[in-house]
Amino acid sequence: MSLLLEGKRAFVSGGTRGIGAAMCEVFAREGADVAFNYHSSDDLAAEVSKKIEAHGRRALAFKVSVTDRLGMKRIAREIKDAWGAINVLVNNAAVNKADNFATTTDKSWDWVVDTNVNSLFAVTKPFYKQMIREKAGHILNITSVGAIRSLPTSVHYATSKAAMIGFTKCLSREAANFGITVNAIAAGIFDTDLGHTLPQRLLQMHDFWVSKGRVGHPPELAEFAAFLVSDRNSFMNGEIVIVDGGAVT
């Protein structure tokens, strides 16, 4: 059987840490050339690029914010000139801060919402337009169970991730007209920098809530993501799939 993503060209936002880095490596192992952006760490970007290339695939790394609309348009053009149009896009980059709503500052609210919501427009649109011209493509959005369940996470984070669900469902209907699928994974708590920003009381209770009895490991989500953005996943569209270790609801 051929590799899941053989011949594909993927872009992963926030590709140097946690789930993003895991997806870059798994996608490369499954046959895709992988481009990604990152915010600050050149060393981590070089490390992820080496892992992609170790699987015999091409890597491109861009130090550009996901909220930089002009920067993202430039990235899309550069990747197309180098490789051809992107046919797999993962909106993964996100931030969180352990705030109580009553004491959340304007700055914190704007930072989380700008990064997690406005980036959906900045990152998706230039690649989506390429997919429309190609009449094919897969878009995957990484949201959170915090957008679905009443968990003791930050209100700005839950709000931003709920917006991603609406984005996924509405865009999926429009995109289907062009042979493009749009789905999302609602992730539970994973062993990532972002996961560790959650309130300590939530992390302490987590192992009792989930049937797996532990937090998730980034490669576990990346393996499932690779299938979701593959052509073998041919009839799912507009879905939000929960991957959280079997939490009690």
Active site residues: 157
Q: Are 11 and 131 in contact (CB under 8 A)?
A: no
In one-letter notation, the amino acid at residue 63 is K
In one-letter notation, the amino acid at residue 47 is E
Q: Which residues pair with 12 in a beta bridge?
A: 36, 90
Please state, in angstroms and as integers, the Cα–Cα distance from residue 87 to each residue in 56, 113, 149, following that order. 19, 27, 32
In three state form, how does the secondary structure of 218-236 look?
A: HHHHHHHHHHHCCCCCCCC
Looking at 84-118, list the stretches that DSSP marks H as alpha helix, in order from N- to C-terminal side.
Answer: 106-113
Angle at 155 between CA 183 and CA 162, to 5 degrees: 15
> Torsion over CA of 65, 186, 48 and 130, rounded to 10 degrees?
-60
